[in-house]
Amino acid sequence: MGLVSEFREFITKGSVFDLAVGVVIGAAFQKIVDSLVSDIIMPIIGIITGGINFTTLSIKVGDAELKYGNFIQQTIIFLLVAFVLFIFIRTYNRTKRNLSEVVASSQNK
């Protein structure tokens, strides 16, 4: 099997297309989460903490600037994405399990 035909077989498998769709949807979802954190959650946290804008928090070390506030914001974004994915996968697994139980019980009748 030649390289081109092997690549064609690989790229036409369903899992590759599923992965591509997942990447595109994930990128769009990331923008929504970024906006949620940057435009809604972080301003609320800033109000609670006395008006601190996390994106501007930094420490100057010599000529370098350590932007730890941006790191805090990116960590919150990561935690939100991870939590939403956890809830989605948990719901999917429960639904799949419940559906399997319903199918199994209907086959036993």
Q: How confident is the model at residue 65, as a pLDDT?
A: 92
Q: How confident is the model at residue 109, as a pLDDT?
A: 66
Q: Running DSSP on this structure, what letter comes out for residue 17?
A: H
Q: Cα–Cα distances in Å, from 32 out to 22, 35, 36, 98?
A: 15, 5, 6, 31
Return the higher-pLDDT residue of 26 and 59. Answer: 59
pLDDT band at 14 (very low <50, low <70, confident <90, very high): low
Q: How confident is the model at residue 49, as a pLDDT?
A: 82
- Note the pTM of the prediction, 2 decimals: 0.58
Domain spans of the chain? 3-77
43-90 residue pLDDT tens? 888 888 888 878 888 999 999 999 998 888 888 878 887 887 788 889
Helix (H, G, I), strand (E, B) or coil at 62: coil
Please determine, for residue 102, whether its predicted confidence score (pLDDT) is greater than 80: yes
27-40 residue pLDDT tens? 888 888 788 888 88
